[in-house]
Structure 1
Amino acid sequence: MKLTTKVARLLDATPGVHIHKGRLRIALKVPGRTTPVRKSLGLPPTEANILYAGNKLSAMKIDVQTGNFTADEAAFWHKHLPDDPRYNIVNRTLRDYFNQYRESRKFDLSHSSQRGLETVVALLESHRLLDRDVRDISHRDLEQVRSHALTTRKATTVRLYFTRLRAVIDEAIRDGHLEQSPFVRLRKLRQSSAESDPVAVEPFTQDELTRLQDSCKTEPARQMVGLLFWTGIRPGELKALAWEDVDLEAGTMRIRYSLSRGGHIKPPKTAAGVRTVDLLPPAVAILKRQRELTFMLPARKDEIRLLHNKTRTEPRRRVFLSSNNKPYRDPTLLTTHQAWADLLRRAGLTYREAYQLRHSYASMMLMVGAHPAYLARQMGHADWGMIRKVYAKWVADENPGYRDELARKLGILDPHMTPGETTKSQGVDK
């Protein structure tokens, strides 16, 4: 076939596109093949067709780079060569797309997210939706699943389930197998007034902390409970803490990693989570005592799990170790929730989540006048919006004389408008 000069030049300038038996053919490098895969487009070599072939090849290369080819080769070819009968996929089930989503995201899904996906799969399995073609799933099906789930689960939990389901269905849209998501016609789940309330804050007092520590069966447990109370760090951050990140002379510790539910050391979820925490004197005292127990033990090689399946190894000496001097593999404060419940019972305290130790630190700091922005940095929040949302109401409820205190500091106290201060001035409340 004789080509015009313009067509020949355009063909030379379009790598991966060439002529085979009078028709345009593309050559694509894919994982697992040492030579390019060649596919005929069945188009004559015109200027418009060469441009079309070049654009198609570029789109295919992007999908290869983003892992779509590896996740589902058949769906890949069907998306880019839908007219080829070899790739005419008649049925693509919701289960197929769950598998595809897991495969394509396996390097950046956290352990908790993977477990969450399994929960959603089980829920959909119970409604017999997993093996239906994703094109046959309607907003009515989703409404039925949601209504049933709400009978046994909190609305916030169900919203999380559907966020994950939506991400899976979006895979079908990207593949071109589904034109419109059933979520488009799904009514939004209204938020109840109870859901909009701040997180329940039930902090421990210093007296209750003493009772907790006195009821601990081991010294490491006593020290961990105390350090959580006096620093506000998370249990996973505490169990990942290493002496390399503690500076007792400066009175600081650097939070760089956390222990995941899968037992892996990984960086915090957000950049704000990497932070330097100023240590109050009780926290320094706890770490000095802990230094006598673990500081001189040899370093172990910790594998740090990073995003996109990357890892690095660091020699680290964990501050807190299990009873056999081995690193903890579970971020739960006392390894099991039952152990925490038993500790509260021995201390004669009503049940509260161990996370209330973190709330205890925050509320205590606010009550003595710590600036919310400073406290947000200490606790690893990007800004102090969360501090305001969670603790503002608690501070007012816990200290009903807070208004009087602020008025006194501003020099605008009116004893006729503040009965609490009037009582104090009369010597009744001392």
Structure 2
Amino acid sequence: MGNQGSSYEGVRIASTSSIEIDFYYQGTRCRERLKLEPTPANLKKAARHRAAVISSIEAGTFDYQVTFPRSKNARKFMRQDRVDTYLRTWLATKKPTLKASSYKDYKNTIEGKLIPEFGHLLLAELKRGHVRDWASRLTCSNKRISNLISPLRAALDDAMHDEMIAGNPLAGWHYRKIEPPKEVDDIDPFTAEEQAAILAALPSDGFPLIQFALWSGLRTSELVALEWGDIDWRQKRCRITRAITQASKGEAETTKTTAGTRTIDLLPRALEALKAQKTLSYLHPSGRVFLNPRTGEPWTGDQAIRKTLWTHALKRAGVRYRRPYQTRHTYASMMVSAGEPLAWVSKQMGHTSVVTTARIYAGWIPTTNSQAGMLANDKFSVKHNAT
């Protein structure tokens, strides 16, 4: 019964259970089978379906992937202005400009959140209302929602500049819901007693890393990427220019922010740790300061530090668990509570501004000094002679 004709143009009986229609799309003759028994009624139905396809082609709204999702031609004629296609293409072109961690986050967001929700739409069909309704159903924080929308906004910006859409529906718009105040702050520094207990519980080849972390304030990703060439022994300073995240798989990238690229002062306890580490890794061909004691090779991220060194040390020390990043908060809180200048602490930490430092560590800024203000009073007060 195959390939028998019918009274309808472009409609043929393909088998006892299917009808074939043909049409031209983008200069190519296309044939698609419909799972319909070739009865007179179904032949008429197939003819109407073919007419609808031709009409949408002429109107410029035909989407092969939507109309024939299981067809081999669907990928061949995939519309570049569909949200799913465009987001994947956009991310591929952006990959060389993104850090590995940022690329991973964008890909997870695009494939796991944006495409399942908006992928079937054309770019021109996507409206702010679609995104607002979706965001209103999310149960995560405002910060998380902003992070999810961020790659979509950036991609739509590029689509607008490429003249694929007239404007970006998300330009200048941000979704925010009412959130209760945060009850628990992530800043949970170690006390002097806890620090001593942790350092005492560490093996000799792991001790320098943790002491340096506690007395330098570096991010874990910056510690992992530190090289001996970054150390200025004479000036007692250290240049921070690289970071290695778990996503970068051992490859050094630029620091988290522009301000993160900085030169810090090395305090005596930090220098002491470096001198102890020198005997362990100074001649290693990688040039890295800190090595994994178990492998003798550079650390590839923070996970190995946490699993093979940090967690065990805290258990042996009997110290309540906090993640390794708390060594950074410990350093900053010690400096601020000791009365070190906020501008200096901010530079040491690689913050974008002193305001950031003050906001994060406000709880550690001394406020109980009864002599507060007297230094300025003594220095700048002008004495007036009585007349």
User: TM-score, structure 1 length as denominator?
Assistant: 0.62
**C-alpha distance in 2, partners of 1:367/1:165?**
42
Does the residue aligned with 2:95 lie in a helix, a strand or coil?
A: coil
- 1:124 matched residue in structure 2: 114
Does the residue aligned with 2:298 lie in a helix, a strand or coil?
A: coil
Residue-by-residue CA offset, 1:383-426 (whole Å, 9 max, x unaligned): 3121111112x125xx6x624252676689xxxxxxxxxxxxxx
- 2:330 matched residue in structure 1: 360
Whether 1:371 aligns to 2:361 is no
1:346, distance to aligned residue in structure 2 (A): 3.3
**C-alpha distance in 2, partners of 1:215/1:237?**
24
1:190, distance to aligned residue in structure 2 (A): 3.9
Does the residue aligned with 1:212 lie in a helix, a strand or coil?
A: helix
**C-alpha distance in 2, partners of 1:184/1:277?**
39
1:329, distance to aligned residue in structure 2 (A): 1.5
Assess, with a 3 A threshold, how the Cα gap between structure 1 residues 384 and 186 changes in structure 2: closer, same or farther. Answer: closer
Query: Which structure 1 segments of 5+ residues have no match?
Result: 1-87, 301-316, 413-430
The 5 A counterparts of 1:38-49 are none
> 2:204 is matched by which residue type in structure 1?
E
Assess, with a 3 A threshold, how the Cα gap between structure 1 residues 403 and 168 changes in structure 2: closer, same or farther. Answer: same
**C-alpha distance in 2, partners of 1:234/1:175?**
38
Residue-by-residue CA offset, 1:347-405 (whole Å, 9 max, x unaligned): 2222323222111111111122211111111122233121111112x125xx6x62425
- 2:297 matched residue in structure 1: 326
The 5 A counterparts of 1:77-92 are 92=81
> 1:203 is matched by which residue type in structure 2?
P
Does the residue aligned with 1:277 lie in a helix, a strand or coil?
A: strand
Contact 1:212 1:343 in 2 (8 A): yes
Residue-by-residue CA offset, 1:316-356 (whole Å, 9 max, x unaligned): x11111232212221447154x8644543332222323222
Whether 1:189 aligns to 2:189 is no
- 2:272 matched residue in structure 1: 285
Assess, with a 3 A threshold, how the Cα gap between structure 1 residues 402 and 181 changes in structure 2: closer, same or farther. Answer: same
**C-alpha distance in 2, partners of 1:99/1:126?**
13
Aligned with 1:211 (options 197, 200, 206): 197
**C-alpha distance in 2, partners of 1:118/1:90?**
20
Does the residue aligned with 1:204 lie in a helix, a strand or coil?
A: coil
Does the residue aligned with 1:276 lie in a helix, a strand or coil?
A: strand
> 1:117 is matched by which residue type in structure 2?
Y
**C-alpha distance in 1, partners of 2:323/2:306?**
14
- 2:370 matched residue in structure 1: 404
**C-alpha distance in 2, partners of 1:93/1:245?**
48
1:227, distance to aligned residue in structure 2 (A): 0.7
- 2:315 matched residue in structure 1: 345
**C-alpha distance in 2, partners of 1:93/1:258?**
36
**C-alpha distance in 1, partners of 2:302/2:251?**
10
Assess, with a 3 A threshold, how the Cα gap between structure 1 residues 97 and 343 changes in structure 2: closer, same or farther. Answer: farther
**C-alpha distance in 1, partners of 2:89/2:190?**
46
- 1:50 matched residue in structure 2: none
The 5 A counterparts of 1:381-392 are 381-392=351-362
Contact 1:120 1:165 in 2 (8 A): no
Whether 1:395 aligns to 2:364 is yes
Whether 1:232 aligns to 2:217 is yes
Q: CA RMSD in A?
A: 2.9
> 2:370 is matched by which residue type in structure 1?
D
> 2:331 is matched by which residue type in structure 1?
Y
Assess, with a 3 A threshold, how the Cα gap between structure 1 residues 170 and 136 changes in structure 2: closer, same or farther. Answer: same
**C-alpha distance in 2, partners of 1:381/1:100?**
34
Does the residue aligned with 2:84 lie in a helix, a strand or coil?
A: helix
**C-alpha distance in 2, partners of 1:91/1:254?**
45
- 1:140 matched residue in structure 2: 129
Q: Percent identity?
A: 26
Contact 1:116 1:161 in 2 (8 A): no
**C-alpha distance in 1, partners of 2:277/2:349?**
22
**C-alpha distance in 2, partners of 1:364/1:99?**
46
Does the residue aligned with 1:105 lie in a helix, a strand or coil?
A: helix
Query: Which structure 2 segments of 5+ residues have no match?
Result: 1-76, 379-387
User: TM-score, structure 2 length as denominator?
Assistant: 0.69
1:267, distance to aligned residue in structure 2 (A): 2.6
Does the residue aligned with 1:270 lie in a helix, a strand or coil?
A: coil
Assess, with a 3 A threshold, how the Cα gap between structure 1 residues 387 and 92 changes in structure 2: closer, same or farther. Answer: same
1:142, distance to aligned residue in structure 2 (A): 1.3
